[in-house]
Amino acid sequence: MIDNPWAPTSLKEKTALVTGGARGIGRAICITLARAGAFVVVNFRQSDRAGQETLDIIKQQGGQGRLEPFDVTNSEAVDRAIANIISDTSTIDILVNNAGIVRDGLLARMKDPDWNDVLATNLTGAFHLCRAVSKIMIRKRHGRIVNIASTAGEAGNAGQANYSAAKAGLIGLTKSMARELAPRNILVNSVSPGVISGGMTDRLDEAQLEIIRSNVPLGKMGQPEDVAATVLFLCSGMSDYITGQVIRVNGGLYM
C-alpha cells in the first residue's frame, strides 16, 4: 500500500493556516479544522478582537491554535509571518486562502483604488501565500491548498467587475498550481460558495434576500459551516485523488 500521511477523517498533527479567519466563512473554517485535530493559525489584518474570539472558540472546544496577524497584500509581511509560523510549529500542512474584500460599483464609475485593492487582496494576496507555503510543502512532498473563490468568479456579477475578476483569477491560479504541484503530492483545489449567510449578505434587506432565495433551487442561503465542511473534506485523506477542481457550495445556484 502507498504510505499516506493523511488519515481519512482526522487532521491530528497537521498545521493549518487560514487567512481571513476572524469572522464569517473564515471563522467557520478555522473552527472546523481545529475540531478535526489541526493546529490552526488564524490570520487577519485588522480584526484583532474578532480574531481573538475565533481562537477563544477553538480553545473552548478543546482545539489548539494561535493568532498570526498580517496583511496578505504585503509579500514581505507574508514571508515574515510564514517564518514565524515555521519557527513555532516547524511546518504548514494546510493553507486556506480565504482573505477577501469587496469594493462594489458599476464598471463605468469604478475608481482605480477600488479595482486595485480588491485584486491585491483577493488574488495577489493568495499568490503571495501560495508561493511562500508551497516551498515548504514541496520539501515535505505533501500538502493541501484550498482557495475560496465565488460563483461571481464563474459567472460574473453586475456591479462586481473587480471581485468577479479576482475570483476568476483565483480559479485559474488553482488549476495552474494543481498541475505544477501534483508531482510533489500537493493537492490544490478551490471552493466556490454561492449565497452564504453573514458577511456580504448582512448589507441586504429582507426583500433583497427573498429575491436571492427564490433563485436558489434549495430555497435558502447557505451557512458558513457548509463551506467549512467542504474545506475539511478537501484537507482530509478523503480527497486523495482530487486536485485542480472547483467544488461548488451553492444550493444548486448556477448563474
Which one of the listed residues 54, 94, 163, 224 is annotated catalytic?
163
Residue 1 pLDDT grade (very low, low, confident, very high; cuts 50, 70, 90)? very low
Dump the DSSP string for 128-140: HHHHHHHHHHHHH
Q: What's the pLDDT score for residue 8?
A: 60
How much is the pLDDT for 211? 80
Active-site residue 163, yes or no? yes
Q: What are phi and psi of 158, to 5 degrees?
A: -60, 135
Task: Give the model's confidence band at 189: pLDDT under 50 very low, under 70 low, under 90 confident, else very high.
Answer: very high
| Greatest Cα-to-Cα distance within the chain, rounded to the nearest angstrom | 59
Amino acid making up residue 208: Q
Structural contact between residues 23 and 49, judged by C-beta atoms closer than 8 angstroms = no
pLDDT digits (tens, 9 = 90+) for 214-251: 889 999 999 999 999 999 999 999 999 999 999 999 99
Between CA 75 and CA 54, with CA 86 as vertex, the angle to 5 degrees is: 80
Show the cell assigned to 43. 490570520
- The whole-chain average pLDDT of the chain stands at 93
Q: Among the CATH numbers 3.40.50.720, 3.40.50.300, 3.40.228.10, 3.30.70.3270, which is that of 15-195+230-247?
A: 3.40.50.720
> What's the pLDDT at 2?
43
3-state secondary structure of 64: strand
Q: Is the pLDDT of residue 201 over 80?
A: no
Nearest CA-CA partner of 150 in 124, 178, 122, 128: 122
Whether the CB-CB separation of 186 and 144 falls below 8 Å is answered with yes
Question: 195 vs 129, which has greater pLDDT?
Answer: 129
73-128: pLDDT as tens digits: 999 999 999 999 999 999 999 999 999 999 999 999 999 999 999 999 999 999 99
Q: Could you count the other beta carbons within 10 Å of the beta carbon of residue 164?
A: 20
What integer pLDDT is reported at residue 4 of this predicted model? 55
CA atoms within 13 A on the CB side of 210: 3
40 sits in which H/E element: strand 39-42
CB atoms within 10 A of CB 163: 25
Q: What is the pLDDT of residue 199?
A: 67
pLDDT for the residue 90: 95
- pLDDT above 90 for 157: no
Burial class (CB in 10 A: 0-12, 13-18, 19+), 138: middle
pLDDT of residue 215: 86
Q: What are 13-23's pLDDT values in tens digits?
A: 999 999 999 99
pLDDT at 202 over 90: no
Question: For residue 9, what pLDDT is reported?
Answer: 66
Q: Are 122 and 167 in contact (CB under 8 A)?
A: yes
Asked whether 195 and 211 are in contact (CB, 8 A), the reply is no
Percent of the chain with pLDDT over 90: 83
| 55-76: average pLDDT | 98
pLDDT above 60 for 7: no
3-class secondary-structure state, position 189: strand
Q: From residue 26, how far is each of 51, 86, 156, 207 by CA, in Å?
A: 10, 21, 23, 27
Distance CA 86, CA 125 (A): 19
